[in-house]
């Protein structure tokens, strides 16, 4: 009788053990565990903020109160006889930034400035208004390390064409300081230094109309060489050789179209 009781107890234990191995609850738990480790991420990617924009320009991109205080400007809120542009919203860049959702971080535009070191009447601008000198100041301040710039517009070359500065020759290597008194190597040097200073920024050179042909061609060749971009403007309205309200609107539309 005692043996029979032992046998019955062993059979009961065995039944419980085998029943537990086939438990539906255990099967479901295993499935859930696999799902937790293999399910794809469902978190939405972080939305990108607006592009931070910087402008290197001349009179075409100035407006009183929107450029560094020590810079010369062409466009004033009080207006001037030579132009009908009297509001910042009349410029090419202000409405462009609004329409594209850009954040304008800096408008470094200086009326009458050249990219290279030769200004009007042969003035030496290597330590004053030239685009190259202004860029050097930003580099010395580690500006591009401290500020996240996504897009840089370069709207220059107009005064280099107008002031009679020597053109020089197109070159991409061993450009010396003396070379930068000539327009063509100065353009290449400026774009090269800008690309190096802000390697992650998109650089777009806006080519004005009615420039010496060599200037536009140099911008195109340098852009291809450096992997930067350019917009070659077509005819727009000017007064005293500067964009009117309609001219500004045309520049804005052409640049916006090129940006896609």
Q: Considering only the top CATH level, what class is 52-259?
A: alpha beta
Question: CA triplet 184, 193, 52: central angle to 5 degrees?
Answer: 115
Structure-block tokens of residue 55: 């402008």
- Please state whether 144 falls in left (phi above 0), alpha (psi between -120 and 50) or beta: alpha
Judge whether residue 27 has pLDDT over 70. no
Q: Give the angle 122-126-130 at the CA atoms, nearest 5°.
A: 85
pLDDT-derived band at 116, boundaries 50, 70, 90: very high
- pLDDT bracket for residue 260 (50, 70, 90): confident
Structure tokens at 213: 């042909």
The mean pLDDT of 26-34, rounded to a whole number, is 31
Which residues touch 122 (CB under 8 Å, ≥6 apart)? none
Answer whether residue 13 shows pLDDT above 70: no
* Residue 39 confidence (pLDDT): 30
Strands (E), the chain: 52-57, 103-109, 151-155, 202-207, 229-232, 238-239, 242-243
Q: Say how far residue 11 (Cα) sits from the centre of its chain.
A: 79
Residue 200 token pair: 């992650």
The predicted structure's pLDDT at residue 36 = 27
Q: What is the rounded CA–CA span in Å between residue 154 and residue 171?
A: 20
Q: Which of 88, 202, 182, 203 is nearest to 130 (CA)?
A: 182
188, HSE (Cβ side, Cα atoms, 13 Å): 23
Which residues 6+ apart lie within 8 Å of 24 measured at CB?
none
pLDDT of the residue at 217: 98
Query: Looking at residue 11, what is its pLDDT?
Result: 43
Q: Count Cβ atoms within 10 A of the Cβ of residue 237 and give its class: 0-12 exposed, 13-18 middle, 19 or more buried.
A: middle
pLDDT greater at residue 14 or residue 195: 195
Q: Which of 116, 211, 110, 209 is nearest to 165 (CA)?
A: 116
Q: How far apart are alpha carbons 87 and 84 in whole angstroms?
A: 9
Say what percent of the chain tops pLDDT 70: 82
Who has greater pLDDT, 209 or 13? 209
Q: Is 169 exposed, middle or buried (0-12, 13-18, 19+ CB in 10 A)?
A: exposed
Mean of pLDDT over the chain: 86
Residue 69 token pair = 């205080």
Partners of residue 152 on adjacent β-strands: 54, 203
Position 33 pLDDT exceeds 70: no
Alpha-carbon distance of 36 to 112, in angstroms, equals: 65
The answer on pLDDT for 105 being more than 50 is: yes
User: What pLDDT is attached to residue 6?
Assistant: 43
pLDDT at 70: 97
Ranking 79-83, 93-97, 157-161 by mean pLDDT, the lowest is: 79-83
The span from the CA of 82 to the CA of 26, in Å, is: 86
- CA distance linking residue 220 with residue 207, whole number of Å: 9
- Higher confidence at residue 256 or residue 48? 256
């Amino acid at each position: 009788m005692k043996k029979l009781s032992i046998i019955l107890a062993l059979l009961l234990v065995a039944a419980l053990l085998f029943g537990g191995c086939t438990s539906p609850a255990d099967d479901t738990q295993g499935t859930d565990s696999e799902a937790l480790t293999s399910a794809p991420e469902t978190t939405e990617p972080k939305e990108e903020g607006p592009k931070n924009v910087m402008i290197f320009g001349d009179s075409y991109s100035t407006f009183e109160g929107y450029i560094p205080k020590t810079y010369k400007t062409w466009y004033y809120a009080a207006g001037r006889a030579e132009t009908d542009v009297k509001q910042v919203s009349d410029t090419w860049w202000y409405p462009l930034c609004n329409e594209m959702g850009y954040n304008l971080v800096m408008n470094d535009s200086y009326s009458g400035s050249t990219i290279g070191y030769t200004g009007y009447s042969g003035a030496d601008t290597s330590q004053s208004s030239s685009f190259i000198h202004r860029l050097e100041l930003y580099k010395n301040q580690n500006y591009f390390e401290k500020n996240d710039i996504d897009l840089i517009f370069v709207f220059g070359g107009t005064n280099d064409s107008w002031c009679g500065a020597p053109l020089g020759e197109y070159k991409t290597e061993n450009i010396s300081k003396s070379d930068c008194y000539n327009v063509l190597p100065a353009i290449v040097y400026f774009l090269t230094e800008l690309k190096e200073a802000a390697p992650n920024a998109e650089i777009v050179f806006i080519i004005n109309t009615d420039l010496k042909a060599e200037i536009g061609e140099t911008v195109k060749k340098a852009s291809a060489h450096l992997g930067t971009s350019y917009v070659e403007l077509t005819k727009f309205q000017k007064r005293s050789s500067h964009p009117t309200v309609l001219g500004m609107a045309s520049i804005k539309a052409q640049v916006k179209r090129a940006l896609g």
